[in-house]
């Protein structure tokens, strides 16, 4: 049989544990195998029935260890009951030390924890400041403390073989760190108004708080720290040299500090000027506005405007612009410049020259002839007006391309009179010569109409009435008597003849006018200078020949009968009256009606009467005469007696009845 014992039990991890196996019989020889469960721990050779095994490799925990005796000649194999071997963790200890004590705030301090046994693994917690891994029994933590006093311990976590442990406390004394400031400028030298960034870098970079930037003793501004840096952009530094510093106020861990001064040079901004006159070109006396623009637009001060070397005036800047208006520029070309005076932040500068051309004043001319239209030979007054009214010089008046004459311009106008314009249409212009200040110009043409001289015609006739084939002379007198040309004579609308004027007179003799009423006019056709005209009509009547037919009723008549004499006039339109007479004795007068006039007379004496009817004529008809023999017989008696005719005493077949001879042969 085999029995097994261990010592020590329990044992600490890593400590040597001796297992002792006793085999009965004690004379047994051979070896014993020691097993931890199924794991072989090793073997021991029997001596006097005892075999031992010492090991330090048992891990922490409970181990069921058995001893197994292998059979030999004479002894059977046997295994001991298991022995419960407890292995506990080894006790550890920690020693804490500070690499720098006292230290300054922000300074990295190496905290070192030394763990015993040095085979310990695991981690060490440094009072919550951080955890470090144990390596070869040592754990180290670098930590930057703020200012103050800190009690620190190192707590070892233990591992599978070693128990945890805590060091004795140490006191870490931390004073404020000594800060330093480095100051830089983004651009040096800079220009006035140019943004310049001043950057302050604080050491240590963990410093917090604000940095104040100063120009000498003048505070430029304050900026907060971020990652140990603060910056301030400044654009308002005046021209010159500035001593710029950055003052750190410090914080709970860092002392205040001020940088070395940076000499910041601020140069004046180089300015530039442009100049622009308007209008350009201009005319004499016209206001010209000269505008200067300065770069930068923030420039202040004033601008002097010059015409060559002649100063025109000085104007203060406003918004980077200055303008001068002048009306005094003389004729010609001017070299205009603008000279900027500069200011505290900007250099003086002068623009490039700009040529300003000043031309003569443009003029305009209007011409007005009066009267218009005019008559031939009438004086026409031509008034030319120049704008501006201050213009002087001469004015040439033209009829088309023909110069009529020139006059001096006075108070902006000139007047020319002429009566030599021919009849017709004239394009009248006025051409202004210009003067030292005013440009020449010509008016628009004005149409001047010169009417022909009015003429008049009077017409006279040599007779108001005429007989057929009677020559009548018509005389046309034309006014003015200088008129030339011809006169046409018209009977109504029919031309009856044409005659040439001589000393204003034209005549026409004509004998071919038909009977009747004629309205004769004289039409003057005009000439180059005289207008046509027509006379008032002259009435001429060419009388018509008339004829009379005379009869009496009864005829023959009795000495006891009244007799009616009737005269018929041809034409029947004749008017007036008919005088009936016997010799010098007027029997009576009858008024024509329808071409017929009658008169009744008392019984005439027996016998033959020669009766005459006389028509005196009228406005259209010539007079005429007709005669007849009217016989008056004795009234008839009751006695019939033959009439003896002839010397032979023969009796005709006739009777005398009431003193009338009756021809019986004529009786039925």
In this predicted structure, the answer to whether residue 643 has a pLDDT above a threshold of 70 is no
What is the CATH superfamily name and number for domain 547-633? Immunoglobulins (2.60.40.10)
For residue 365, give every residue at least 6 positions away whose Cβ sits within 8 Å of its Cβ, in sequence order, or none: 384, 385, 386, 387, 395, 430, 431, 432, 441, 442, 443
pLDDT tier for residue 640 given thresholds of 50, 70 and 90: very low
DSSP SS3 for 666: helix
Residue 596 to residue 575: CA distance in whole angstroms: 9
CATH number, span 93-175:
2.60.40.10
pTM above 0.85? no
The total of other beta-carbon atoms located within 10 Å of residue 626's CB is 18
Model confidence pLDDT, tens digit, residues 427-455: 999 999 999 999 999 999 999 999 998 89
Q: Which residues pair with 568 in a beta bridge?
A: 549, 596
**DSSP per residue, 524-562:** E---SSB--EEPPPEEEEEPBP-EEEEEEESSSEETTS-
Q: Does domain 180-267 have CATH number 3.90.226.10?
A: no
**Residue 620 has what pLDDT?**
86
Nearest Cα residue to 381 out of 394, 368, 399: 368
Residue 102 to residue 580: CA distance in whole angstroms: 190
- Max CA-CA distance within the chain? 269
Q: Are 340 and 347 in contact (CB under 8 A)?
A: no
Rounded mean pLDDT of 152-179? 92
pLDDT tier for residue 324 given thresholds of 50, 70 and 90: very high
Q: Are 248 and 224 in contact (CB under 8 A)?
A: no
Model confidence pLDDT, tens digit, residues 113-122: 999 999 899 9
Rounded mean pLDDT of 163-176? 94
What is the CATH superfamily name and number for domain 364-451? Immunoglobulins (2.60.40.10)
Model confidence pLDDT, tens digit, residues 330-353: 999 999 999 999 988 889 999 999
Nearest Cα residue to 343 out of 263, 241, 270, 235: 270
Model confidence pLDDT, tens digit, residues 530-586: 999 999 999 998 998 899 999 999 999 999 999 999 999 999 999 999 999 999 999
Model confidence pLDDT, tens digit, residues 57-111: 998 899 999 999 988 888 899 999 999 999 998 889 999 999 999 998 878 999 9
Residue 601 to residue 516: CA distance in whole angstroms: 35
Q: In 422-538, which ranges are continuous DSSP H helix?
A: none
Radius of gyration from C-alpha coordinates of the chain: 83
pLDDT tier for residue 162 given thresholds of 50, 70 and 90: confident
Nearest Cα residue to 508 out of 521, 519, 517, 518: 521
pLDDT tier for residue 467 given thresholds of 50, 70 and 90: confident
**Residue 623 has what pLDDT?**
92
Q: Are 279 and 286 in contact (CB under 8 A)?
A: yes
Nearest Cα residue to 140 out of 108, 172, 110, 162: 110
**Residue 662 has what pLDDT?**
45
In this predicted structure, the answer to whether residue 648 has a pLDDT above a threshold of 70 is no
Residue 129 to residue 271: CA distance in whole angstroms: 62
Dihedral class, residue 648 (left if φ above 0, else alpha if ψ from -120 to 50, else beta): alpha
In this predicted structure, the answer to whether residue 254 has a pLDDT above a threshold of 80 is yes
CATH number, span 272-359:
2.60.40.10
**Dihedral over alpha carbons 125, 131, 135, 141 (to 10 degrees):** -100
pLDDT tier for residue 164 given thresholds of 50, 70 and 90: very high
Q: Does domain 2-88 have CATH number 2.60.40.10?
A: yes
What does each C-alpha distance from 40 to 35, 37, 68 come to in angstroms? 4, 8, 10
Nearest Cα residue to 289 out of 265, 247, 322: 322
Question: Rounded to the nearest 5°, which phi and psi values hold at 665?
Answer: -65, -15
**DSSP per residue, 189-212:** SEETT--EEEEEEEESTT--SEEE
Rounded mean pLDDT of 623-630? 95
For CATH 2.60.40.10, the residue range(s) in the chain are: 2-88, 93-175, 180-267, 272-359, 364-451, 456-542, 547-633
What does each C-alpha distance from 12 to 48, 54, 121, 157, 618 come to in angstroms? 30, 14, 16, 18, 194
Q: Are 380 and 369 in contact (CB under 8 A)?
A: yes
**Residue 454 has what pLDDT?**
87
DSSP SS3 for 665: helix
Question: β-strand 486-491 against 131-133: which pairing, if any?
Answer: unpaired
Query: What average pLDDT does the chain have?
Result: 92
Q: Does domain 456-542 have CATH number 2.60.40.10?
A: yes
**Environment class of residue 572 by beta-carbon count within 10 Å: exposed (0-12), middle (13-18) or buried (19+)?**
exposed
């Amino acid at each position: 049989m085999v029995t097994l014992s261990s010592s020590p039990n329990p044992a600490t991890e890593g400590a040597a544990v001796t297992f002792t196996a006793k085999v009965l019989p004690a004379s047994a020889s051979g070896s014993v195998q020691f097993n931890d469960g199924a794991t072989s721990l090793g073997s021991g050779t029997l001596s006097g029935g005892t075999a031992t095994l010492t090991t330090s490799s048992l891990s922490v925990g409970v181990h069921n260890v058995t001893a197994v005796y292998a059979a030999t000649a004479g002894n059977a194999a046997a295994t001991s009951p298991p022995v419960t071997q407890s292995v506990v963790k080894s006790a550890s200890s920690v020693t804490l030390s500070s690499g720098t004590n006292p230290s300054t705030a922000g300074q990295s301090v190496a905290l070192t924890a030394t763990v015993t046994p040095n085979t310990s693994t695991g981690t060490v917690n440094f009072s919550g400041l951080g955890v470090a891994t144990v390596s070869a029994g040592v754990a180290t933590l670098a930590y930057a403390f703020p200012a103050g006093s800190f009690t620190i311990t190192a707590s070892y976590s233990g591992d599978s073989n070693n128990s945890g442990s805590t060091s004795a406390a140490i006191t870490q004394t931390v004073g404020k760190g000594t800060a330093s400031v480095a100051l830089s400028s983004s651009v040096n030298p800079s220009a006035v108004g140019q943004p310049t960034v001043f950057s302050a870098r604080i050491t240590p970079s963990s410093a917090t708080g604000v940095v104040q930037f100063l120009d000498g003793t003048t505070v430029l501004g304050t900026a907060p720290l971020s990652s140990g840096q603060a910056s301030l952009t400044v654009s308002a530094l005046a021209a010159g040299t500035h001593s710029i510093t950055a003052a750190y106020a410090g914080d709970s861990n860092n002392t205040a500090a001020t940088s070395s001064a940076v000499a910041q040079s601020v140069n004046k901004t180089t300015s530039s000027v442009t100049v622009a006159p308007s209008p350009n070109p201009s005319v004499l006396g016209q206001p010209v506005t000269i505008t200067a623009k300065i770069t930068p637009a923030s420039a202040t001060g004033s601008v002097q405007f010059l015409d060559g070397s002649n100063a025109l005036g000085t104007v203060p800047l406003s918004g980077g612009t200055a303008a001068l208006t002048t009306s005094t520029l003389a004729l010609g070309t001017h070299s205009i410049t603008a000279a900027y005076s500069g200011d505290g932040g900007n250099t003086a500068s002068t623009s490039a020259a700009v040529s300003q051309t000043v031309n003569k004043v443009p003029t305009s001319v209007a011409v007005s002839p009066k009267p218009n239209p005019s008559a031939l030979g009438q004086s026409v007054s031509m008034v030319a007006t120049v704008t501006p009214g201050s213009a002087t010089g001469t004015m040439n008046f033209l009829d088309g391309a023909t110069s009529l004459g020139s006059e001096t311009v006075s108070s902006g106008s000139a007047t020319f009179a002429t009566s030599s314009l021919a009849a017709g249409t004239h394009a009248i212009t006025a051409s202004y010569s210009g003067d030292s200040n005013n440009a020449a110009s010509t008016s628009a043409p004005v149409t001047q109409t010169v009417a022909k001289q009015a003429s008049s015609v009077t017409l006279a006739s040599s007779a108001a009435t005429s007989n057929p084939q009677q020559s009548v002379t018509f005389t046309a007198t034309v006014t003015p008597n200088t008129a030339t040309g011809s006169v046409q004579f018209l009977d109504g609308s029919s031309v009856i003849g044409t005659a040439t004027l001589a000393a204003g007179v034209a005549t026409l003799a004509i004998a071919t006018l038909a009977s009747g009423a004629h309205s004769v006019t004289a039409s003057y056709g005009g000439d180059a200078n005289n207008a046509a005209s027509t006379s008032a009509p002259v009435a001429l009547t060419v009388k018509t020949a008339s004829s009379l037919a005379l009869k009496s009723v009864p005829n023959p008549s009795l000495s006891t009968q009244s007799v009616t004499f009737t005269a018929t006039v041809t034409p029947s339109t004749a008017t007036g009256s008919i005088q009936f007479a016997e010799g010098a004795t007027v029997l009576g007068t009858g008024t024509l009606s329808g071409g017929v006039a009658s008169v009744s007379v008392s019984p005439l004496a027996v016998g033959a009467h020669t009766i005459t009817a006389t028509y005196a004529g009228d406005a259209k008809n010539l007079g005429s005469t007709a005669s007849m023999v009217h016989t008056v017989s004795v009234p008839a008696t009751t006695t019939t007696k033959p009439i003896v005719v002839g010397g032979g005493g023969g009796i005709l077949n006739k009777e005398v009845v009431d003193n009338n001879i009756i021809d019986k042969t004529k009786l039925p």
